[in-house]
Structure 1
C-alpha cells in the first residue's frame, strides 16, 4: 500500500547547534531507506538561513550544501531549502526582493529545486512604516505582506527558473486550528497552490485530529497543509530526550485533507532516529500503525546490538507529549510500593537496578555517546526512589531523602539530563508531603498532589 501523504520527511528546524554535514548525509540516506521523501533544510542557527539570509554561502558551506543535495537526490529524497527572511525583510523594498531572488538563484545553481519561505517566530505586525502603509496595520497587515512576498517570489523567481508551483511557507500564526486576522490577511494575497506549514492545534501537541486538520485548512483558505510536527524536538528543554514512538496522530488525517508530515527532531541527531523511524511507519500507513510495534522495530533498527542495553533508557524516555509521565510503568510500581508500606516489589527492584546500571555507559558508538548524559543521570532517579521508600519503611532519615533529591535536582537545573523525573518527584512527594521546598522545585507540585 502506498502512503496517503505526498510529503513525508524531516524538517531540521530546531534552535540550537545545527546537525553536522555528516549527520545530514546519514539522515537523507536513512530517510530514503524508510520510504520518506522530504528533507526540509531550516536550521534556525544557520546564519545564512535566517539572520544573514541576504548573504551568499561561503565556498566551503556551499560545496557541502551541493553535496547534500546530490546525496538527497540519490536517496530519492527531495531537499527543500527554507529561507527565513521574516526577521527584517521590508516587503515593499525592491532591494530586499532582489536579494531574495539572488539568494534563490545561487541555491538553484547548487542543485536546489524546491524552496520554502519562513515567517515564524518573529514579532507580530510590520515594523516598517512603508509596509504598514501598503498592507495595513496589525497582524492582518503582516499576513497580507507575507502572502504578497511569497506570491511575488513564486511568480518572479521560481516560475522563471522552471520550478514554480511547489512553494511552501511558514506563517507567523503557524499553530492553532481556527481563523485569525493574520490568516485572513495572508489568504488575501497568497497565490493559489502555495503550501502552508502548520504545527497543529498548538506549537507542541499530544494529538492531531481530523477536525483539527479540516478547521486549519479552512482557516488558511484551502491552501495545501503540511504538518510541521514538533516531535521529537527538545530545543525547549534540553534536559529531555524523547525516544518513544509517535503518538496521538489520528489515522484519518490524509482523508481530512492533510498533504503531509515533516517531523522536527531533537538537537541530538542519533537519539532522534528512534522517533523518526516511527514517524516513517505512521506516514507509510496510518491505519495500520501500532506505536508499540513501531517502537520495538525502531529500537532494534537504531540501536542494533545495543538494543537490550539501551532498552531501559528508551523506556524511561518514551513519553509524549512532554507533559506526560516519562515512565508510566515505573510510576505505577512506585505507587504500588508506597501502598505496600514502602516495600520494593521484584519488578520495581529490577527497574531501579536497570536505571542504576546505565551509569558509565561506554561511548563506543555515536548513539551511545549521544545518550551518555541521560544514561549518567538515570541512577539519580533510582536513588531518590530508593531513599523515599526507605524513609517510609523507617530506614532512611528525611534529610537523606532530601539530599538525594537535591543532588538530582541541582544536576538537572545545571542542564544535566532528566530521566523519569516524574517517578522521582512522585516518590519524594509521597515520602515527605509536608516538607517546604524551594520555589520552582517540581517536587512541590508532587507533594501537593498535582
Structure 2
C-alpha cells in the first residue's frame, strides 16, 4: 500500500492549502512514476551544452520525462549558491531549459545551499529566493532543494532556533521556499534531497522530516546504500512510510565520479542495470538515474534503465544491453560490445571479468609448446590492440573521444600482453639458458618498460586483470643476468 492514498491527499489538501504548503501527490497508486529520467548529480563539471541537449533528446526517444540539473562542480549550484548566474552561464542554462521544454522534458534545477547557509537567517533566505527567482524567470517551475553530503552542523543562530535538529532546520527552509514561491508562481513545485538519503532503518533525522517537511513534497532516496547493488519495492515502501512523503529513487548508476575521487583510478560503467525489483517503479513517485561524467557513454546503461522503467515486469538486462549497443554503436557495434566487456564491472564487484580470469588461468596451465599466439589469452590481447581503431568508426565522434582514454589503455595493455606471452614462450624454450641469452635480455627489458607504462596509466579497465598478469609474468620468468632493481617494473598498485 502506498502512503499517499487519494483520501489522505484530500484531507491534507484541505488542511494545508491556506498555508501555501500543499503539493498534490505526484501520481496515483500503482501508476507509472511521475518523474523518470536523469539527475546530472555527479561530482564534476557540468556536461558541455551540446552533450546535455543530446541527453534531453535521448530521454525523449526513450520515454523518460525528467532532467535534473545538479552537477556538484557548477559553483552557482552548490558552493556559490547565493550568487546569481553571470550572463554567459545564464544564457547557456536558458538554452538548456528551452530545449527541455521543446522536447516536453521536465527541467528541474537542484540548488544545494547546505555548505554555508544559516537556515534561519533572513538575509540567507532572501538570497535563496533571489537566486530561485532568477531561475524561475528562465522557465524553471520545479526546484530540488538539496542537502546531500552536508556534514557541517548548525551554527549558533540555528541551534538557538532548532536545537540540534538539522532536519527541522532544512524542512523549515523548505516550507519557507515553497510558501514564498507559490504565492508568486502558483505552478511552483518543490522536491527535497535530505542529508540522510540512504538506508533502510528509521532514524531521528527522518522522524523530524516526517513532522516538519511540508506534506506532499517528494523526498529523494538512493536505496539501502549510496551505491546500491539491489533495491526492492518492499524497502522503498517501508522507507516512504518512515519519511511520510512520496519517494523518488536517485539511482547512483552508472555514476563514476567516486572512481576519480577515492582511488583515483577512473572507470567506465558500461554494463546493464541489474538488481532492481520489477515492482519498484510502481511504488515510487519517481525514478532518476545518476550518470557518469561521460554523457555519451552513459547512454548505454541509461538505455537499459529506460527499458527497465518501461517494462519492469519483463525487463531482461542482457537483451536491453544488446539493443543499446546496437543502437548506439551502429557499424562499430561489435567493437563497442567488445570494449564494454572490459568496462562493465561495477563498484560492488571490481573483480576482473570471469571470462578473462579463466583465460589467464588456462594460459598458465598450458604446456610449453602451446603458450604462443593461438591461446585464447593471446587472441584477447590482439583484440585489445585493435579496438581503438575500430571504435574510431563509431557514429558519434564525441562518444569516441569520451571513451578513448580507456581504449588507449586497452591498446597499450594488449601490446604489453602480447609481448609478455612471447617472453614466456622464449623463457620456456630457452630454459636455464634464458638468463644469459642476449635476445631474451633485450625482450625482458622491453617488457619491463611496457609494464611501467601500463602501471602509469590512471584509467582502470577489466578490474586491473592485465597489469596483474604482466607482473605475474615478470615474477615467473627468469631474470636476465646483470639486471639491477631499477631495471625491473615494480609490482602494480592494483
Decide which moves more: 382-391 or 326-335. 382-391
Q: CA deviation at 1:81?
A: 0.8
Q: CA deviation at 1:191?
A: 1.1
Aligned to 1:248: 275
Structure 1 residues 424, 276: CA separation in 2 closer, same or farther (over 3 Å shift)? Answer: same
CA RMSD of aligned residues (A): 2.8
**TM-superposition CA deviations, 1:93-142 (whole Å, max 9, x none):** 1121112122222211111111110111222421x1010111112xxx11
Structure 1 residues 294, 96: CA separation in 2 closer, same or farther (over 3 Å shift)? Answer: same
Separation in 2 of the partners of 1:433 and 1:418? 22
Decide which moves more: 174-183 or 9-18. 174-183
Find the partner of 2:205 among 182, 191, 212.
182
> Secondary structure, in 3 states, of the residue corresponding to 1:23?
helix
1:167 aligns with 2:190: yes
Separation in 2 of the partners of 1:382 and 1:440? 16
Aligned to 2:403: 371
Aligned to 1:226: 248
1:45 aligns with 2:73: yes
Aligned to 2:303: 277
Separation in 1 of the partners of 2:352 and 2:476? 25
Separation in 2 of the partners of 1:249 and 1:389? 41
Aligned to 2:159: 132
Pair member with larger Rg: 2
1:319 aligns with 2:348: no
1:266 aligns with 2:266: no
Quick check: 1:224–1:258 contact (8 Å CA) kept in 2? yes
1:149 aligns with 2:201: no
Quick check: 2:281–2:309 contact (8 Å CA) kept in 1? no
More helix by share: 2
Decide which moves more: 431-440 or 311-320. 431-440
Structure 1 residues 315, 439: CA separation in 2 closer, same or farther (over 3 Å shift)? Answer: closer
Decide which moves more: 433-442 or 342-351. 433-442
Separation in 2 of the partners of 1:390 and 1:211? 55
Aligned to 2:364: 338
Separation in 2 of the partners of 1:101 and 1:367? 38
> Secondary structure, in 3 states, of the residue corresponding to 2:457?
helix
Aligned to 1:448: none
Structure 1 residues 206, 66: CA separation in 2 closer, same or farther (over 3 Å shift)? Answer: same
> Secondary structure, in 3 states, of the residue corresponding to 1:358?
helix
> Secondary structure, in 3 states, of the residue corresponding to 2:54?
helix
Separation in 2 of the partners of 1:411 and 1:286? 39
**TM-superposition CA deviations, 1:191-224 (whole Å, max 9, x none):** 11111111122222222223432343234x2311
Find the partner of 1:205 among 221, 224, 228.
228
Q: CA deviation at 1:80?
A: 0.6
Q: How many residues align?
A: 430
Structure 1 residues 309, 437: CA separation in 2 closer, same or farther (over 3 Å shift)? Answer: closer
> Secondary structure, in 3 states, of the residue corresponding to 1:57?
coil
Find the partner of 2:456 among 410, 423, 442.
410
Quick check: 1:3–1:284 contact (8 Å CA) kept in 2? no
Q: CA deviation at 1:70?
A: 2.0
Aligned to 1:123: 151
Aligned to 1:235: 257
Q: CA deviation at 1:149?
A: 0.9
Separation in 2 of the partners of 1:440 and 1:382? 16
Aligned to 2:461: 419
1:56 aligns with 2:96: no
Separation in 2 of the partners of 1:159 and 1:246? 41
1:349 aligns with 2:378: yes
> Secondary structure, in 3 states, of the residue corresponding to 1:116?
strand
Structure 1 residues 115, 338: CA separation in 2 closer, same or farther (over 3 Å shift)? Answer: same
The gaps in structure 1 that reach 5 residues or longer are: 443-450
**TM-superposition CA deviations, 1:226-245 (whole Å, max 9, x none):** 11111111111242111121
**TM-superposition CA deviations, 1:346-403 (whole Å, max 9, x none):** 5433322111112456488111121111111003333454466566654488877655
Separation in 2 of the partners of 1:329 and 1:267? 28
- Compute the TM-score of the two structures, normalised by the length of structure 1: 0.87
